[in-house]
Structures are given as structure tokens and as C-alpha cells.
Structure 1
Amino acid sequence: MYDNDTQLESLLIVITAPTSQIGRQVLDGLLAADEKLRVVARDPARLPDRARNRVEIVQGSHGDPAVVDRAFAGADTVFWLAPPNPRADSVEAAYLDFTRPACEAFARHGVQRVVGISALGRGTPQAEHAGLVTASLAMDDMIASSGVHYRALTMPSFMDNILNQTDVLNSGVLTSPMSGERSAPVCATRDIAGAAAALLGDDSWTGNGSVPVLGPEDLSFRDMAGIISEVLARPIDFQRISGETLRENLNGHGMSEAMAQGMVDMMLAKNDGLDNAEPRTPESTTPTSFRQWCEEVLKPADTR
């Protein structure tokens, strides 16, 4: 017998990609909540010290059928993040082929709930030819069809992606194929992780649906360049580049032709309003402003 304050057995939550930008913050949130956790990690040595003695570890790729078969046995809820694969042969391979073994394991082991990282745009004309976004939305459909209860966290571009643009800090130039005047939502990965952790720790929701994470405001690239300039106390310019230039830059950094084209198609769809179709609500408005993110994340990364 047990009283109302004691569960017979804690729910087991599995976290994929626990050392990724979002996954590590999800892990932090669930460790703080003292949840029962299992993680799937290619390199367990990259896990934070505070996690290693508190979580069960399954080593390997969560795209491997044998690995997910072990990882999802006895699991109640799974955090799903398809990792970046810049050298994939196609966007379908990066999202659908990678996720298919997991969907089979969800069904085989009776996993109840999955929370996944996805993108805005479902039901819009722009999403039909939006590269990475199109594949991500197809991945959502595959997961939902496995029989689990599913929540797709749907996001615009991440503030944190600016950290990947070395020209911003080194040369003072923010670049994109998007118009400098196109205002759109932008969100911080910390808010995505917070939304994910809240859903993973809640066993009351059912069915399939999306949870938009839109940040607190819409901004253009020129707006963002201005805010970065103020926070770093030096001029940061915005320069619009062509899709072809972006493709060449990505290829130059080792990205496959298919994935580079998928990135270009996504950015052009965003320029056509892909991220603007989702109505902003109090529920989808998340707290971290771009200025706050610049002060707390970008500025400390500036070693100039």
C-alpha cells in the first residue's frame, strides 16, 4: 500500500542527444527535478560529472536499432532530438531514416509519450519546399503514427545559432539569405529546454499536437544586429547574402550538397513567411529576450 504522496514506481524518462545544445539543458532541468532518467550518448565522457552517477547510460547512437531497443525498454517517456548530420545524403536520411528505428522501438516497448524537437510551418504552402523543415514535419508524422502520445516543440530560428556564425564576433558581420527587414520570432534554446522538461515530467497529456516556442518578440536581422552592437559596444553590421553564397559556404565547411540545399530552402521559406504563420499567444510566448540572451550568452563568448 502507498499514500497519495508516494508513487509505486517513478516514471522512466529517456533523453536522447543529452550532450547537445538543447539536450544538455533538458538533462539539467530534469536532474533538478529529481526525475528517474536514462540517457543515450555516443560518448558518455561528455556528460557532466553531476549526471554520471545519477542517470542510467546507454552508449551509442539513437539512430541504431540495437541501441534504441535497449534504451527504450521499460521507458515511459522519451525526449527525441534528431542530431545534426551535415554530411547526410538527403534531408530524408537525416530525419526520417534516422528516426525510423526509434519509432519501431516505441511501438515494441509500449512507450507512452514522446516529446520531439521540430519546426514551425505545418499546413503552410512554404513548408512544402522548406528543406530541413519539410523533413522535420514528416518526422513528426512518423513519430505520431507509431502509437505514442506526441508533442512536437515547434520553433523558429534559434538565438543560439548566432554563436555558429564566426563572422559575427570576429568580423562584425551578421549574414543571412533572409531580408534584413523581415521580422520573425526567434527563441533561446534555454526556453525550448524548459518547455521540453515540463512536458517530459507531466504524465497527464495525451494525443498528438504541437507546442510553439516563439520567444517574447519578433525581430528582423537588422534589429538583432543593432542589439548585438549595443551589447558588445562595437558596430555589428547585417549583410544579406544569396542562397548560392550560403550553399557555397556550407559546402566549404564540409556539408553535403543535399543538406546545404536543405538549409538554403529552409532559409528562403523563412524569408517567405514560414515562421510568421503561427499566431503568438501567451502560451507560446517564452521569456528570454534577444537582448537578455546577448548579455548572458553571446557577450561572455566574445573574446575580442
Structure 2
Amino acid sequence: MIVITAPTGNIGSRLLDILLDDAPTHGEKLRVIVRDPAKLSDAVRARVEVVTGSHGDADVIDLAFAGADAVFWLVPPDPQAPSLDAAYSGFTRAAAKAFAGNGVGHVVGVSALGRATPVADRAGHVTASLAMDDLIAGTGVAYRALANPTFMDNLLWQVTSIRDDGVFTGTVTADRKAPVAATRDIAAAAAGLLLDRSWTGAGEVPVLGPEDLSPIDMARTMSEVLGRPVRYERQSIDDFRAALTGRSVGDALMQGLVDMMRAKDDGLDDGVQRTPKTASPTTFREWCEEVLEPAVRP
């Protein structure tokens, strides 16, 4: 039995699709934890066990983990969390306690790159995510943290600006190259680990994409794929903070985002070498053609 948290999110929904195709051939049953089962299609609900509620709730977790062999763990965003510790480790503590109590053997979690860099202790959300990894690993469960860079899919938050103004923004230096990954590749990495649980102990599985790209590189590719000029505009940290204020992000999480973006410009995502094992397949061009261009199209 594999338990999937956040099954309607960007990564969880893709993971669920993969597992619905592949799990039966491995003799695996699937169970999901979801606040609103109506967000799952009728076809999905017919093929999985559904536990309704929050996976931060101890009673929900005990029910969902009963008889489970493996868990996919993803902390949902909580813009009004009182602290980053509460948002990550605090949300995870009930599950960490329940892993051993329910005999869960393997956990795959969504985390971030940065542990091997000098800025890991001042990277906001990433620092909190790495602390969550330590909490889970400390339970003794076999744990793999998917160590991710910036998601290509984050650009979908700027579809309107890209379509109407030919602009996307960020806070990193325009020519700074860094890894970027497609969320579908992160889901695929999670599926592989959940279906083949021959691994033991705790560790990271980086998902780096096939190449490092700068915002200038990304603008060039978007322009070519979309057939219109797209340029990158670097935001100041103050402008970034002001934009978050307009989105009702609480002070703690706002500062965490600011610290994370500063750390990314200081090399947060540079600490892992790309190898055949750490690279993931989807190129930025492929992602633009298959995901961004349909979203931008009027």
C-alpha cells in the first residue's frame, strides 16, 4: 500500500497518474489523503482508497497510514503559517510519529537542493525544508528527499505577463545559470522510488533537469517557442517583497521567500554535480512547447 499526500497538487497529481498506470503491475494498492475528494475525478476515486482530511492531522494520519508500506510526503503551502518551522517540521511531526507506529517502511519527500552549500542555513524555505528532512530521517524510516531546484512550472504563475507583456520577472542575476526541473520529472522520480523500495537508510535524490539555464537563456527559448519576444526583468528584493504583500503572504513566510531568493542568487542550487543519475529528462524547450505554449495561447 502506497499513501499519496497532496494528490491534487502539481506534483502529487502527476505522481498519482503514473502510479495508477504502473502500481497494479507491481501489486500495489493506492491510498490518498485529500481535503476535498471532489477534486479527484470519478475515475480516480474508483481506483484508490480515499482518506478525507489534512495530512497534518494526527487522527487522519493514523487512519491513512494503517497497513501502509510507503508514503509520498509533500507539505502543502500555508501562506499564513506563524513560522517556517510550523509550516514544515510542525506540519510533519504527527506523520513522523506515525511512521514507526504504523509500520511504514519507506518515505519519499519533496524537498530542495542546498544542503551542500554555505548558504543552506540562511535560505528561508529551503532551510526549513532541510530541517523537515532531518526530522523524518530521525525516525529511522528509510527516507529519500527529492532535492529539487526551481521548478520550470513556476513560470505558469506569470502566464498573463508573458502573454500580454512579453515579460517574466525574478530576483536572480540575469546571466546566473542554475538547474531547473519540470514537476513531471519530480513525480516520475518519486514513482520510481515508491515502486522499487530496495533502498535503505536516508539520503537525497537530486532532480536537476538536463542543463543549467540563466533567465536570459530561458527568455531566448520562450521567445523562439512562442514566436514572440519575451524578456526577463530582474526585480529588486523590495519589489519582490511588495508583490508578496499583495498576495496575502504572512510575514514569516514572506521573509522565508525573500531569504530563499537571496540564497539562490548566492549559489544555493550549485552544490550538486549533474550526472546521469541526477539529471532529469525534460528540457526547458520541451516544457515550453508542451506546457507553457498551450497555457499562453489565447
Name the TM tier (shorter chain): over 0.9
Which structure 2 residues correspond to residues 161-240 of structure 1 after superposition, within 5 A? Answer: 161-165=154-158, 166-240=160-234
Correspondence list, 1:254-293, <5 A? 254-293=248-287
AA aligned opposite 2:77:
P
Q: Unaligned 5+ residue runs, structure 2? A: none
1:151 has 2:144 as partner: yes
C-alpha distance in 2 between matches for 1:49 and 1:286: 32
Deviations 1:18-77 (A, max 9, x none): 000000011011100123100000011111332111100000010111110111111100
8 A Cα contact 2:117 2:267, kept in partner = no
2:109 partner SS: strand
Residue 4 of structure 1: aligned partner: none
Cα distance in 2 between the residues matched to 1:57 and 1:78: 14
Answer with 198-207 or 167-176: which moved more.
167-176
TM-score between the two structures when normalised by the length of structure 1: 0.95
Name the structure 2 match of 1:16. Answer: 5
The one of 71, 81, 86 equivalent to 2:74 is 81
How far did 1:254 drift? 0.9
Q: CA deviation at 1:87?
A: 1.7
> C-alpha deviations, 1:265-289, integer Å up to 9, x for none?
1111011111011111111111100
Q: How does 1:97-116 map to 2 (within 5 A)?
A: 97-116=90-109
Which runs of 5 or more residues in structure 1 are unaligned? 1-11
> Which residue does 1:65 correspond to in 2?
58
Q: Distance in 1 between matches of 2:46 and 2:125?
A: 36
Per mean C-alpha deviation after superposition, the further-off stretch among 290-299 and 171-180 is 171-180
Query: Partners in 2 of 1:251 and 1:101 — Cα distance?
Result: 31
Output the CA distance in 1 between the equivalents of 2:178 and 2:118.
17
SS of 2:220's equivalent in the other structure is: helix
1:168 Cα deviation after fit: 2.3
> 1:89 Cα shift?
1.4
Deviation, 1:169, is 2.6
Per-residue Cα deviation, 1:56-109 (whole angstroms, up to 9, x for no partner): 000001011111011111110000000111221111111011011110111211
Q: Which amino acid aligns with 2:18?
A: G
CA distance in 2, matches of 1:112, 1:167: 45
- Percent of matched pairs sharing the same residue: 60
TM-score, normalised via structure 2 length? 0.96
**CA separation in 2, counterparts of 1:70 and 1:169?**
45
> Counterpart of 1:139 in 2: which secondary structure?
helix
Q: Which residue of 2 aligns with 1:6?
A: none
2:289 corresponds to 1:295: yes
Aligned length: 293
Q: Distance in 1 between the 2:240 and 2:223 partners? A: 23
Q: Secondary structure at the match of 1:22?
A: helix
